[in-house]
Amino acid sequence: MGDWCIGVIGGSGLYVLDQLEDAQAQEIETPWGKPSGPVTTGCIGGVRFAFLPRHGPGHGLAPEGVPYRANIAALKQLGATDILAISAIGSLREEMAPGDFASVTQFIDRTHGRPQSFFGNGLVAHVPFGDPVCPRLTGWAAAAAREAGATVHEGACYLSMQGPQFSTRAESRMYRNWGADVIGMTALPEARLAREAELPYALLGMVTDYDSWREGESVDVAEILQVMAANADKARRTVEQLARILPGERSASPIDRVLDTALVTAPGARDSKAVSRIEQLVRRKIA
């Protein structure tokens, strides 16, 4: 049992969490470099939060330029116990309309060239990722979004594309055939890294547009920005409602110690520097 500290990663349109009480901007350095920007810590309704805008102040970072490892490591260093990511997404389903929210439970990865792991030569690990989000945090986040006035679609499959261009019509229709429901550019490798850092992760997608699968229509950035502004207000109210919904004490999650059975490099063959970095990340000795 313990206290909550929810790391909130704000996507496009969500750059501040201005309802934080006793807010402090923290400049963090991690073994993987600096995060996207300062992390703002504070409380809402007695619950601790650490907020990080994924694309940095003023949205200066493109999807492939986000320092995903440093972002996750910075939140962990500041005491985050769980992560709620809030992301702008396109819809691949008619029923998921602009302005709605989608609670994500699965991912399809179409990104490339992004560091995917905290591990590598000298310290190899394979974490389970069949169920990539935390079911309890995902459920609470969906309930909080509804309390905040959002229409929420649960159980969505998120297609993570490379970007920064939007999809062609052929790609968008192919993704629909694959079973994807929504599309974005940033959830991976973010969710994978959260799992390796032993942080339960949930993703709420804010639908800004229909992707290009609809005949005669295309993605329009000006329209996206308008929807984004309204969605961001709902997202901030969602965080407030989440603080109210969370149980008073945090019970343990299986994800909290997922590395206990994930490391495959024999102790005698492990690189000492790699071990030191991971121990800084998870804040305990690795057996």
Catalytic residues: 209, 211
Q: What CA–CA distance (Å, rounded) separates 277 from 94? A: 45
Q: Which residues contact 217 (CB under 8 A, 6 or more apart)?
A: 210
CA 3-8-13 angle, 5° bins? 160
Helices (H), the chain: 68-77, 135-147, 169-178, 187-196, 221-245, 272-282
* N- to C-terminal Cα separation, the chain: 23
Q: What CA–CA distance (Å, rounded) separates 273 from 31? A: 10
Q: What CA–CA distance (Å, rounded) separates 281 from 203? A: 22
CB 76 within 8 A of CB 26: no
CA distances from 198 to 35, 51, 52 (A): 18, 18, 18
- Phi/psi-derived region of residue 239, left when phi > 0, alpha when psi is between -120 and 50, beta in every other case: alpha
Q: What are phi and psi of 142, to 5 degrees?
A: -65, -45
Strand 182-184 and strand 82-91: pairing? antiparallel
The two three-digit tokens of residue 232, written as one number = 């961001």
Task: Report CA torsion sign: 41, 134, 187, 101.
Answer: negative
Q: What CA–CA distance (Å, rounded) separates 258 from 234? A: 33
